[in-house]
Structure 1
Amino acid sequence: MRNLITDVAGISVGNATDLSLGSGVTAVLFDEPAVASVDVRGGGPGTRETDLLAPDSTVGAIHALTLSGGSAFGTDATTGVMAWLAEQGIGFPIGTARVPLVPGCVLFDLLNGGDKAWGRFPPYRELGYQAAAGAGADFALGTAGAGTGASTAILKGGLGSASTVSGAGHVVGAMVAVNAVGSATVGDGPHFWAAPFERDGEFGGLGLPSPLPAPTVTPHVKGVDSGANTTIAVVATDAQLTKAQCKRLAVMAHDGLARAIWPVHTPLDGDTVFVAATGRRPLADPVLDMTWLGVAAVDALARACARGVYEATALPFADAKPAWRERFGRKGVGSKG
């Protein structure tokens, strides 16, 4: 197990990262069409082709998913992923035509200091193509792909991933670009909200602070005047699921964001979670196994959020958000947390 979403057999991931732009794209490709759905909880989403993921829509499976920076401009990344798939002859058959089905979503990273003077056409179509062409089992975390330009309330955000095995034996993986209005860390210290789920020191091994800080109704937030936020994620499993079951799992998986980010699902975020099922392992008990899949999805997504922030590095711009490691050191040693 790599502790990546690609631990789910039949999935590959590619990143395209442009540090001068301060943005990037991440593509998730499926060896065989995957059943999928989506759940949107943030108040300001940016999505493409998500209607076809509704349980009552005609198309039964998709070929890829795209996460991108660039706000609405980033929806062009899906076109690039489609172009690469089309070159491989991959797509939904309609007569002699093949149409790749690639839903996607975006986050806002237009005000992070990067060079956004791209001229007539934004670069996200080409970045999407590059991400798809470079997809494999291993991929970078932190300031990479869709997490390149991401930030949180007080720290640099980034691309995170994690995996686990459900109580019924299904593999579940998560990947997320953390660009939240809130924070993945507790107060001003190095401790992650997702600490109760951490495994093998994957994001510093610090646990929760003791004592916990007093509750507050005014936690750290960022970008309230620009809407420069949104956390977008993909949860995948080798379970054999219907679109309705994928939808239910996406609803449950959002609890992973809630366990890792505070606050979350605000009007200033576009928080979106896709769920994709490769169908390689059937459910023995449709109700109980779905419960265990939901538990595993929350676990993997919460850990992926923390890993995205923990693995990030600061962008090479003046006044860039500091990275967790820059502020606290690899293990948070000497912090006031």
Structure 2
Amino acid sequence: MPSDKDIQSVTQIPGVFAAHATNAAAGTGCTVIVCPGGATGGVDVRGGAPATRETDLLRPEETVEVLHAVVLSGGSAFGLAASCGVAEELERRGLGLDVGVARVPIVSGACLFDLACGDPCVRPTAEDGRLACAAALDGESAPLPRGNVGAGTGCTVGKLAGPERAMKSGLGEDVERAGELICGAVAAVNACGDVRDPDTGEKIAGVLDAAGSLADTTEVLLGGYAKMPLARTNTTISCVVTNARLTKAQATKVAQMAADAYAHAICPTHTTNDGDTVFVMATGAVDAPVDVVGALATRALGRAIADGARNATSAYGYVAARDLRSS
């Protein structure tokens, strides 16, 4: 088992593979997390405007017990096409649930709204999903790139006062460990609210004031200055990967616990304008109490959200936190 310092990315967790497809010119992309040997899946959807695929199948009472991939995608509902490409690539490689006459890969996914960045007519396609899946399975276990990549390419935050006062965000990642238990999280941060450091409370990115400094989205909301030009255009979508051995019911509970990371790192969160979704993939290598897995997953996801804001770079007319600090 790798040491603590060796585990820097979900790609270094045994049995887990991940990669991006990025279209920087169009401001969109997708991120694919693959467990070719199959994982136990769970999901928690708390946002008011989700765009998702195969979330009902992950309910504990449903009969399918395996999950092969999670796709985080831009493109709003159009981006669900990327999951089809992932399923096709997995089938081509002989991976999936054996149903006698074929193998059916079980692929869940969620999309975020990034159409206001780059070209709104370009969205992640089935081919993008296929290429990202192939890159994940054929690549090395190097850390997953973060920032303006994959599903984080067109992410923005703090949009409640209009696009001119919003900021650039991106895709973040964090891996935490407690003994042999590992929990990693990947998050594409496209929230309506502000992003804060979950450990210190420091505000990282969000709504700007008239002078171009960080303001407070909650105060903007309470002050009645909410002029978001398009409703339901925000979503933070995430995947927690753990080597814990979980049932579907336990994976669902871990997803519910991990969703609290949104409240730790985003304010306000789970609004009617957000489609927040958290997936869980458990590879089953280590026995651990569910509450321990949930607590570790929550820490990883909160830090991944902050990481997504910190690693973004200014683009598409939106300033990123790193440039706001330097200015």
The residue aligned with 2:41 is: 36
- Distance (Å, rounded) in 2 between the aligned partners of 1:214 and 1:129: 40
Q: Kindly provide the amino acid, as one letter, of the partner of residue 268 in structure 1.
A: N
The residue aligned with 1:76 is: 81
Higher fraction of strand: 2
The answer (yes or no) to whether the contact 2:243–2:285 under 8 Å persists in 1 is yes
The residue aligned with 1:275 is: 280
The answer (yes or no) to whether the contact 1:152–1:222 under 8 Å persists in 2 is no
The answer (yes or no) to whether the contact 2:217–2:267 under 8 Å persists in 1 is no
Moved over 6 A (4+): none
1:22 matched to 2:34? The reply is: no
The residue aligned with 1:156 is: 168
Name the SS for the 2:71 alignment partner. Answer: strand
Q: Kindly provide the amino acid, as one letter, of the partner of residue 311 in structure 1.
A: N
* CA shift in 2, pair 1:282/1:264, >3 Å: same
The residue aligned with 1:189 is: none
Fraction of identical pairs, as percent: 42
Q: Structure 1: which 5+ runs fail to align?
A: 185-191, 204-212, 284-288
The answer (yes or no) to whether the contact 1:64–1:103 under 8 Å persists in 2 is yes
1:115 to 116, 119, 131: 119
The residue aligned with 1:240 is: 245
The residue aligned with 1:173 is: 184
The residue aligned with 1:253 is: 258
**CA displacement, residues 164-196 of structure 1 (integer Å, 9 cap, x when unaligned):** 113x64111000000000111xxxxxxx33243
Q: Kindly provide the amino acid, as one letter, of the partner of residue 83 in structure 2.
A: T
- Distance (Å, rounded) in 2 between the aligned partners of 1:216 and 1:157: 18
The residue aligned with 2:295 is: 295
Count, aligned residues: 297
The answer (yes or no) to whether the contact 2:171–2:308 under 8 Å persists in 1 is yes
Q: Kindly provide the amino acid, as one letter, of the partner of residue 91 in structure 1.
A: G
1:78-93 → structure 2 map (5 Å cutoff): 78-93=83-98
1:323 matched to 2:320? The reply is: yes
1:193 matched to 2:204? The reply is: no
**CA displacement, residues 212-244 of structure 1 (integer Å, 9 cap, x when unaligned):** x99964469784633221000001110100000
* CA shift in 2, pair 1:267/1:97, >3 Å: same
The residue aligned with 1:128 is: 129
Q: Kindly provide the amino acid, as one letter, of the partner of residue 189 in structure 2.
A: V
- Distance (Å, rounded) in 1 between the aligned partners of 2:274 and 2:292: 28
1:3-22 → structure 2 map (5 Å cutoff): 3-22=8-27
- Distance (Å, rounded) in 1 between the aligned partners of 2:74 and 2:322: 23
Q: Kindly provide the amino acid, as one letter, of the partner of residue 158 in structure 1.
A: G
Deviation for aligned residue 1:87: 1.2
- Distance (Å, rounded) in 2 between the aligned partners of 1:52 and 1:221: 36
1:143 matched to 2:169? The reply is: no
Q: Structure 2: which 5+ runs fail to align?
A: 1-5, 159-165, 205-214
Deviation for aligned residue 1:139: 1.9
1:195-210 → structure 2 map (5 Å cutoff): 195-196=199-200
- Distance (Å, rounded) in 2 between the aligned partners of 1:152 and 1:247: 27
Using the size of structure 1 for normalisation, the TM-score is 0.83
The residue aligned with 1:209 is: none
- Distance (Å, rounded) in 2 between the aligned partners of 1:215 and 1:72: 26
Deviation for aligned residue 1:306: 0.7
Deviation for aligned residue 1:300: 0.4
Deviation for aligned residue 1:8: 2.7
Q: Kindly provide the amino acid, as one letter, of the partner of residue 260 in structure 1.
A: A
RMSD between superposed Cα atoms in Å: 2.2
Using the size of structure 2 for normalisation, the TM-score is 0.85
1:182 to 180, 193, 209: 193
The answer (yes or no) to whether the contact 1:181–1:222 under 8 Å persists in 2 is no
